[in-house]
Amino acid sequence: MRNVLRSLRQLRPAFQRQDCVLIIVNVAEEPPCHIGKSCHIHSSAFRFVDHAETNFKNHLFTTTTRPLSTDAAKLTNRETSKAGPLVEYERRITNGELVEGDACQVDTLTELQRLYDELVESADICQLDRNSEKPVRSGWLWSRLLSHPSYSPVKGLYLYGGVGTGKTMLMDLFFYQLPSNWRKKRIHFHDFMLNVHSMLQKHKGLSDPLDVVAGEISDDAILLCLDEFMVTDVADALVLNRLFRHLFNKGIILVATSNRAPDNLYEGGLQRDLFLPFIAALKERCVVHEIGSSIDYRKMTSGEQGFYLVGTDLSGFLKEKFQQLIGEGTATPTPQEVEVVMGRTLHVPLGANGCAYFPFEEICDRPLGAADYFGLFKKFHTLVLDGIPIFGLHNKSAAHRFVTLVDVMYENKARLLCTAEGSPKDLFEKIVTVSEAKNLAPRTSSRSRKNDDSNLCVDNELGFAKDRTISRLTEINSKEYLEHHAAMLAEKKERVDQNAVEA
C-alpha cells in the first residue's frame, strides 16, 4: 500500500499546472484519530449480563493514548511539495496511528489531494486567507450590483459510500492539513442546518433572508466541509435549494460526506421536485466520488468493554454503574435543565459530573430532535440510557429519534452506557427497506398474510440508516473509542486544574 501511495505522489505533479507554487503555513490544528490500529476483528463487541453478576469491569481511566505527530504540519517552503492529506495518511500508517486502508481509500485520497493542491494554488483568487482584504460580497445592495454569479474557480468534492468506510476520517485528514488562517469550517450537517434555521429566525421579515444568511456563512467560511450530508426533513429540503444557490454564487466551495449518492438524496420525500434543482447544482459545483470499499473499519475494534449491556430488568444495575461513573460520594445526581435553541430547554432526569441519565422513553419517545441532542452533549460527555427496545412498526418514530441521537453522540465523541433488549443488529432486525421487503419470501398456500410479521417496519430512510447506527454503536463500545474518550476527559481535567493553579 505504501508503494502505491509513493507512486501516486510521483504522478501527482503531472496533473498540476507547471507554474503552480505551493505555499503552506504552519497548521495549528490536529484532528482526532477516528480509526485506531487494531489486529483482530471481533464478531461480538457487546456484553450480555447475567442477573447474578455483581462485578463491573472498570476500564474508564485506563488509557493508552497515541498523540498524533505535528511534524507533517511544520513545513518550510522548501517542503511544500510533501504536504497534503495523501502524505499525512501515509505518515500515520507508517507510525501505526491508522490501520492500513484499501485501494478505495487511496483512490479517494488522490481526489482530496487534487482538491488540496488546487485550493493552495487558487487561495488568493478564492479569497481563502482570513487575514487578507476581501470585497463586501453579501447583502442586498451587492446582490443587485453584481450582474453575474461569483462562482469559485475550484470545484468542491462530494464523497459518498457505505457505513464505516472512512469518509469522515478522510475528510478530517484533508481539513486539518489546510492552513489554519483560511476561511474554512467543518461541521456536522445536522448542526449546520440548525444554525441555518436559527439565522433565518433572526432575519425573519427581510425580503430574502436566505441571501443574508448565505452572506454571513460565506463571510465566515469559503471552504465549507459538511459531514453526514443527509436530507430527511421537508423543511431542510425546501431551504437547501435556494440557500446553496446563493452560497455557490458567493464562491463557496463545498466538501461533503454522505451515505447516499446525490441522485438518492431525499428519495421519496415530500415535494421532492422542488429539491431536484439542488441535486443538479450539487453535481455541477462538486466532483462526485464514490468510496466503493465494502470494509466497515468501525467494526475492526479490539474487544468488549462492558458498556453495552444486553438483558431485561437491569435498571438497578445500570444506576449503580451511573453512580460509579460520576464518582462515589463526589456528587449527587439531580434533575437538570439544558438550554437548546431559541429559548427552549431539555429536561435531564438525573445529571452530575458530565454524566446524564435517561430512561429510553424520555429521550426517544418524546417529540425531540437533533437540536435537543446537540444541546445535551454540549453539557454532558456521557449518556446513560436505560431500556433500548427492539424497533419495529409500533415504535418507528422512536427508532428515527434513536438514529439521530446516535449520530449526534458520535459527532460529539460522547460515551454511552446503556441497557438494551438486544445487540445493535438485533435492535433493527425488523426494520427493512422497500426493496428488502420485496425480497422476503412470497406468499403461498402455506404462507398466508396472517403469517406475516405484524411488527415489520418498511421504511426506506430508516432501513438505509440502520447500518450506520449499528456500525457507530459498535465503535462507541470499542476499546479504542473509550480510551480516546478517557484521554479527552483527563486532558480536560488537567487544563482545569492548571487554570485553577494559575488563578
Q: Is residue 49 part of a domain?
A: no
Q: Is residue 44 part of a domain?
A: no
Please tell me the predicted confidence (pLDDT) of residue 324: 86
State which amino acid sits at residue 392: G
Tell me: do 88 and 214 sit in the same domain. Answer: yes
For the chain, how many structural domains are there in total?
2
Q: Is residue 58 part of a domain?
A: no
Domain span including residue 206: 2-33+69-291
Residue with cell 449503580: 320
Tell me: do 276 and 320 sit in the same domain. Answer: no
Q: Is residue 39 part of a domain?
A: no
* Cα–Cα dist 389/391, whole Å: 6
Tell me: do 244 and 272 sit in the same domain. Answer: yes
Please tell me the predicted confidence (pLDDT) of residue 254: 97
Residue 126, C-alpha cell as written in the block = 478564492
Considering only CA atoms, which of 252, 244, 228, 234 is closest in space to residue 277?
244
Please tell me the predicted confidence (pLDDT) of residue 480: 81
* Cα–Cα dist 424/427, whole Å: 5
Q: Is residue 46 part of a domain?
A: no
Please tell me the predicted confidence (pLDDT) of residue 4: 52
* Cα–Cα dist 122/129, whole Å: 11
Q: Is residue 48 part of a domain?
A: no
Considering only CA atoms, which of 353, 352, 355 is closest in space to residue 307?
355
- Count Cα atoms within 13 angstroms, Cβ side, for 183: 23
Q: Domain end: 240, 266, 291, which one?
A: 291
Tell me: do 361 and 232 sit in the same domain. Answer: no
Tell me: do 308 and 401 sit in the same domain. Answer: yes
Q: Are 112 and 157 in contact (CB under 8 A)?
A: yes
CA distances from residue 471 to 45, 256, 397, 405 in whole angstroms, order as listed: 11, 20, 20, 14
Tell me: do 286 and 354 sit in the same domain. Answer: no
Tell me: do 460 and 409 sit in the same domain. Answer: yes
Please tell me the predicted confidence (pLDDT) of residue 190: 86
Please tell me the predicted confidence (pLDDT) of residue 361: 96
Tell me: do 159 and 77 sit in the same domain. Answer: yes
Please tell me the predicted confidence (pLDDT) of residue 158: 97
* Cα–Cα dist 453/431, whole Å: 11
CA 357 from chain centre, in angstroms, equals: 23
Tell me: do 149 and 16 sit in the same domain. Answer: yes
* Cα–Cα dist 338/347, whole Å: 6
Q: Tell me the residue ranges of DSSP E strands in 171-298.
A: 184-188, 223-227, 253-258, 286-291
Q: Is residue 233 part of a domain?
A: yes
Tell me: do 218 and 262 sit in the same domain. Answer: yes
Q: With a threshold of 0.85, does the pTM exceed it? A: no
Q: Domain end: 268, 291, 314, which one?
A: 291
Tell me: do 266 and 329 sit in the same domain. Answer: no
Q: Is residue 283 part of a domain?
A: yes
In a 3-state reduction of DSSP, which class is residue 80?
helix
Tell me: do 276 and 314 sit in the same domain. Answer: no
Q: Domain end: 240, 267, 291, which one?
A: 291
- Digit-by-digit pLDDT tens for the chain (503 residues) are 555 555 555 544 444 443 433 333 333 444 444 434 333 333 334 444 444 343 433 333 333 333 333 333 333 333 344 689 988 888 888 887 776 666 778 889 999 999 999 999 999 999 999 887 655 544 445 444 444 558 899 999 999 988 777 788 889 999 999 999 999 999 989 889 989 998 998 998 899 999 999 999 999 999 999 998 989 888 889 899 999 999 999 999 999 999 889 999 998 888 899 999 999 999 999 999 998 765 555 555 444 456 888 887 888 888 888 988 888 557 789 999 999 877 789 999 999 999 999 999 999 999 999 999 999 999 999 999 999 999 999 999 999 999 999 999 998 999 999 999 988 889 999 999 888 888 775 554 444 454 456 789 998 889 888 988 998 898 888 888 888 888 888 888 888 888 878 77
